[in-house]
Chains A and B, each alone.
Chain A
Amino acid sequence: MPKRANSFPEEVLEYVFSFIQTDQDRSSISTVCKSWYEIERWCRRRIFIGNCYAVSPRMLIRRFPDVRSIELKGKPHFADFNLVPEGWGGYVYPWIAAMASAYPWLEEIKLKRMVVTDETLELIAKSFKNMKLLVLSSCEGFSTDGLAAIAANCRNLRELDLHESDVEDLSGHWLSHFPDTYTSLVSLNIACLGSELSFSALERLVARCPNLRSLRLNRSVPLDRLANLLRLAPRLTDLGTGAYSAEWRPDVFAILSRAISGCKELKSLSGFWDVVPSYLPAIYSICPGLTSLNLSYATIQSPALVKLVSQCPNLQRLWVLDYIEDVGLDALAESCKDLRELRVFPSDPFVVEPNVSLTEQGLISVSEGCPKLHSVLYFCRQMSNDALITIARNQPNFTCFRLCIIEPKIPDYLTLQPFDVGFGAIVENCKNLRRLSVSGLLTDQAFDYIGTYGKKLEMLSIAFAGDSDLGLHHILSGCDNLRKLEIRDCPFGDKALLANAAKLETMRSLWMSSCSVSYGACKLLGQRLPRLNVEVIDERGHPESRPENSPVEKLYIYRSVAGPRFDMPGFVWTMDEDSALRVT
């Protein structure tokens, strides 16, 4: 008599499983036994696909028949910096088309770095009556016409977030397509839109949506219209202003201050394009409650910034331009003891000499003064190993450390040495480091440290660094938890890749551009590892037209159960089992 795998009815197990939410745990449950696999797949509601080409829509639907929330990511991260040519891929339409019939009850769609068309948006608007959340992060390919379709049809929409997408802005009238009966808006982020919005439509929309908690306007919304909007939405917790500038008028200032102080629940502020410093005090009243402040578009100088941040003792996240300078970061370290995340962006990255006094000292100060600081993105022009060692000692809790020394390959400005020991200290001391971006002059030794100590590292970004294949070998053989590796302009080649080929199947993806990986090695990898898609990107024409040992321009390798993709443009080739034998 066969042993029964479980004595609970399915419904009970399903109920128990509903408390288990993370993908990893869900995945673990599904491997216990066949019946648990079956039960789990019928009740999984949330899906995260980190690489849209790792699996196909058909496979997703076949395994999970009733999904309510999907998150998909498309292009590799380096697409953010124009390293992925136009037309590479990441089209979401096939997914939407497949889900339109399979998941009529889909409620949430989150896309990142994908190509979304107006046709796609129209299909979403038509197919999913229960659509509640649409997040298009760093996406492109659609226009405000597509948004109009969403506005007109998604009666249950709660959240529309266009986070930094590239939208063809045909007109601001799309907002008027939200019907008068539509009142469910909770969150709207349209900060990336270029043109003027229809203000009256915006005001009417805000006025009739009592649950609105997050509103991120675009630059076109002038300061003198902000007060009106805030009066209509006093329960906002997250506000992105439009252009924060106007001619100085005390009455406008007074009205604005009053309106802002009426928003007693504001926790997060952003926007602040074209800031006129005299209007900044209008936000002082709510500063004590702020946990998140994005001033990374505010071209104001250090004194004004210092005045502002010193009134925000509860700040957890700050994004700011390097106008804050070392002196401002000292003040930040003094005032904001709850700071968790800091990003300092360069105001003028293309000028050779520093235009502001922001050095390694600023980062030392915050690492010392902010005990909860765990995530940093820091652009600067000089750094020293001593500073990095001090920073690592001050703050062993970093989970994300991204340092961008603006000039490639420059050494420690004090000793003229590479930054090997500095980054070595970071990885050795910060035992929970999950994400690391390195810069400056680095030898293979740096990667030896990273491979030795970066055991929890999941994502690593490298540029203009290393001496030889040994560097890459240290990483691939040492970093046990590596999921994403992206490399540009490094002398890494065939040997390290071929020696660690199996490692690539344990990672989500590897990007290498302007390195020394030969076409022959790519073919070999593609042939040997059928569960990897080895894609060569080369805009100089088919790699067969060049010698086997000639390096490819760009290489993107990712694991996939869907096999090679079929939507590649003319400058991308998949190396598969047949490619080694194929003759052009």
Chain B
Amino acid sequence: MEDQLNFKATELRLGLPGSSEEHENKKAATSPPIPKNNKRASPDSAAEECSTSSNLIDAPPTKTQVVGWPPIRSYRKNSLQLREAYVKVSVDGAPYLRKIDLKVYNSYPELIKALEKMFNLANINGSDFAPTYEDKDGDWMLVGDVPWNMFVSSCKRLRIMKGSEARGLSTCF
């Protein structure tokens, strides 16, 4: 339990301060979800929050998804995402790379969790690591700044940075 608390304290969480695991709830509800009024923070206020709170990045919250609602054909849903969302993932110090399909995940926390599992790392968003990605323009970005869907469509590869470089990126904590 203690470990979990520590984990949470250093965890890069994507939500408003105080909001918990809503994003991670993927269960298809049989009754309609009650909309939570989690407003997306404007870019300015997000930057301010950066320096004051440990809950860093406000990605627009996605609600619990009900099967088949809204009524959009999967053909259309698939077409609007990437055709292939497989990206290479490298971790500084690891001997080989892995590949993951970004389409499988619905949010940043899910992705981070999966990466931690895949590479057997405790705290990718802690002080020693920083998840970064190369976007369509070839620039290296810190994971978490843009809305999830935008990230999925622009991410070309992932790199989990480690060490001093990574610490530099995490100063927002």
CA distance A346 to B149 in the complex (A): 13
Q: Of B65-73, B97-105, B138-146, B165-173, which binds chain A?
A: B65-73
CA distance A273 to B147 in the complex (A): 21
Q: Is the CB of A463 within 8 A of B69?
A: yes
A406-B70 in contact given A352-B60, A353-B39 (Cβ < 8 Å): yes
CA distance A408 to B66 in the complex (A): 10
Instruction: List B contacts of A409 (CB < 8 A).
Output: 32
B45-86 interface code vs A (CB 8 A; 1 in, 0 out) = 000000000000000111101111111111110011001000
Q: Is the CB of B147 within 8 A of A351?
A: yes
Question: A314: shortest Cβ distance to chain B, in Å?
Answer: 26
Question: A189: shortest Cβ distance to chain B, in Å?
Answer: 13
Question: B126: shortest Cβ distance to chain A, in Å?
Answer: 28
A83-B67 in contact given A297-B79, A352-B60, A409-B32 (Cβ < 8 Å): yes
Q: Is B30 an interface residue (CB 8 A)?
A: yes
Instruction: List A contacts of B37 (CB < 8 A).
Output: 352
Q: Is B20 an interface residue (CB 8 A)?
A: no
Instruction: List A contacts of B76 (CB < 8 A).
Output: 296-297, 345
Q: Is the CB of A81 within 8 A of B73?
A: yes
Q: Is the CB of B71 within 8 A of A80?
A: yes
Instruction: List A contacts of B19 (CB < 8 A).
Output: none
Question: Which one of A345, A437, A488 lies within 8 Å of B72 (CB-CB)?
Answer: A345
Q: Is the CB of A166 within 8 A of B75?
A: yes
CA distance A520 to B12 in the complex (A): 52
Q: Is B25 an interface residue (CB 8 A)?
A: no
Q: Is B95 an interface residue (CB 8 A)?
A: no
Most buried by B among A273, A299, A347, A351: A351
Q: Which of B90-112 contact A (CB under 8 A)?
A: 106
Give the total number of A-B pairs whose CB atoms are below 8 A apart: 84
Question: A420: shortest Cβ distance to chain B, in Å?
Answer: 18
Q: Is the CB of A83 within 8 A of B68?
A: yes
Question: A381: shortest Cβ distance to chain B, in Å?
Answer: 10
A219-B66 in contact given A349-B72, A352-B60 (Cβ < 8 Å): no
Residue of A nearest to B147 (CB): A351
Instruction: List A contacts of B62 (CB < 8 A).
Output: 350-352
CA distance A531 to B13 in the complex (A): 58
A164-B73 in contact given A348-B149, A350-B63 (Cβ < 8 Å): yes
Most buried by A among B33, B62, B70: B70
Q: Is the CB of B80 within 8 A of A347?
A: yes
Instruction: List B contacts of A348 (CB < 8 A).
Output: 149
CA distance A444 to B68 in the complex (A): 23
Residue of B nearest to A402 (CB): B71
Q: Is the CB of B35 within 8 A of A273?
A: no
Q: Is the CB of A82 within 8 A of B74?
A: yes
Q: Is the CB of B83 within 8 A of A489?
A: no
A299-B80 in contact given A82-B68, A164-B73 (Cβ < 8 Å): yes
Residue of A nearest to B72 (CB): A349
CA distance A33 to B68 in the complex (A): 48
The binding surface of chain B is classed by DSSP as loop
Q: Is B36 an interface residue (CB 8 A)?
A: yes
Residue of A nearest to B149 (CB): A348
Q: Which of B1-43 contact A (CB under 8 A)?
A: 30-33, 35-40
Q: Is the CB of A352 within 8 A of B61?
A: yes
A346-B70 in contact given A352-B60, A353-B39, A407-B35 (Cβ < 8 Å): yes
Q: Is the CB of B71 within 8 A of A352?
A: no
Instruction: List A contacts of B65 (CB < 8 A).
Output: 350
Question: A362: shortest Cβ distance to chain B, in Å?
Answer: 17
Question: B68: shortest Cβ distance to chain A, in Å?
Answer: 3
CA distance A355 to B71 in the complex (A): 18
CA distance A347 to B81 in the complex (A): 10
Instruction: List A contacts of B31 (CB < 8 A).
Output: 489
CA distance A518 to B72 in the complex (A): 29
CA distance A296 to B77 in the complex (A): 11
Q: Is the CB of B73 within 8 A of A464?
A: no
Question: A239: shortest Cβ distance to chain B, in Å?
Answer: 18
Q: Is the CB of A78 within 8 A of B68?
A: yes
Q: Is A514 an interface residue (CB 8 A)?
A: yes
Q: Is the CB of B71 within 8 A of A408?
A: no
Question: Which one of A81, A353, A355, A406 lies within 8 Å of B68 (CB-CB)?
Answer: A81
Q: Is the CB of B83 within 8 A of A408?
A: no
Instruction: List A contacts of B40 (CB < 8 A).
Output: 351-353
Instruction: List B contacts of A253 (CB < 8 A).
Output: none
Q: Is the CB of A404 within 8 A of B70?
A: yes
CA distance A353 to B106 in the complex (A): 16
Residue of B nearest to A273 (CB): B79
Instruction: List B contacts of A350 (CB < 8 A).
Output: 62-63, 65, 106
Q: Is the CB of A352 within 8 A of B63?
A: yes
Instruction: List B contacts of A83 (CB < 8 A).
Output: 67-68
Q: Is the CB of B71 within 8 A of A404?
A: yes
Instruction: List B contacts of A489 (CB < 8 A).
Output: 30-32
Q: Is the CB of B80 within 8 A of A297?
A: yes
Residue of B nearest to A489 (CB): B32
Most buried by A among B61, B68, B76: B68
Instruction: List A contacts of B83 (CB < 8 A).
Output: 194, 219
Q: Is A192 an interface residue (CB 8 A)?
A: yes
CA distance A464 to B34 in the complex (A): 12
Measured CB to CB, the residues of A under 8 A from B are 78, 80-83, 138, 164, 166, 192, 194, 219, 273, 296-297, 299, 345-353, 355, 379, 404, 406-410, 437, 461, 463-464, 488-489, 514
* 15 contacts across the A-B interface (CB closer than 8 A): A78-B68, A82-B74, A83-B67, A273-B79, A346-B70, A350-B63, A350-B65, A351-B40, A351-B60, A351-B61, A352-B60, A404-B70, A404-B71, A461-B71, A464-B32
Contacts beyond the supplied A164-B75, A514-B30: 16 A-B pairs with Cβ under 8 Å: A80-B71, A81-B67, A81-B68, A82-B67, A166-B75, A194-B83, A297-B79, A351-B147, A352-B63, A353-B60, A407-B35, A408-B69, A409-B32, A410-B35, A461-B71, A464-B32
Closest 6 interchain pairs by CB?
A81-B68, A408-B32, A164-B75, A350-B62, A83-B68, A351-B60
Measured CB to CB, the residues of B under 8 A from A are 30-33, 35-40, 60-63, 65-76, 79-80, 83, 106, 147, 149
